[in-house]
Homo-oligomer: A and B are copies of this chain.
Amino acid sequence: MNVISERRRTGRPLSFDRDAALTQAMMVFWRHGYEATSLADLTTAMGVTAPSIYTAYGDKKRLFLEAVRRYLSGPVTSDSIIDEAPDGRAAAARLLETAALGFTGDTTPPGCLLASAAISCSAEAADVQAELAAIRRGIEDRLRRKIAADRGTDAEALAAHCMAVVQGMSTLARDGASRGKLLEIASIAMRAWPNA
């Protein structure tokens, strides 16, 4: 049952690294968003011709969603950050810090892929925007539940505030804000918590 060694029985083999090409696609989507990324941008960045993209990934929308899954499935996911934190407060702090670092990486585009791709959507890309909104809501719900386990009163508002700060940090990062500035913002945001 070794999946790696399982090969298609017949046919010409793929001439490009499907995984590496997907990473390049993720980078382009990360930098320019979903709609502003043209298939010509993708072919040049991935080094793959358009028909090969379509046979390998489907269409542009499926390629984007696969890039989003790749973006979310890093070694440090927002899910694990929240779940493995000792309490809601630590979850929020780590989420903010991880966002500040992830939005200012020197080998990745500035800001958040989800935030960059989500806004400025035309009518035909409304379903893509809806999927991204669902992902954001999922993260927010997970954080809210984590906070509510400790302190019941204002869990929803605290989680929403944290999400707003993360979203805003993405914009500031795209505007050129430094990593230090984003970490300061995260620190300020955590002052909103009681019994500091």
Contact = CB atoms under 8 A, between A and B. Distances in A.
A121 B33 contact: yes
Contact of A188 (B115, B157, B184, B185): B157
Query: For the complex, would chain A's binding face be called helix, strand, loop or mixed by DSSP majority?
Result: helix
Contact of A119 (B125, B133, B174): B174
A121 to B, nearest CB: 6
B160 A184 contact: yes
Interface residues of A, number: 50
Number of identical monomers bound together in the oligomeric complex: 2
A140 to B, nearest CB: 9
A166 B168 contact: yes
Contacts of A56: none
Given A36-B120, A165-B189, A191-B193, 14 more contacts: A37-B122, A118-B120, A118-B171, A133-B176, A156-B184, A157-B188, A160-B172, A164-B167, A164-B168, A165-B165, A166-B168, A167-B167, A167-B171, A168-B168
Interface of A: 32-38, 115-123, 125, 133, 136-137, 154, 156-158, 160-161, 163-169, 171-172, 174-177, 181, 184-185, 187-194
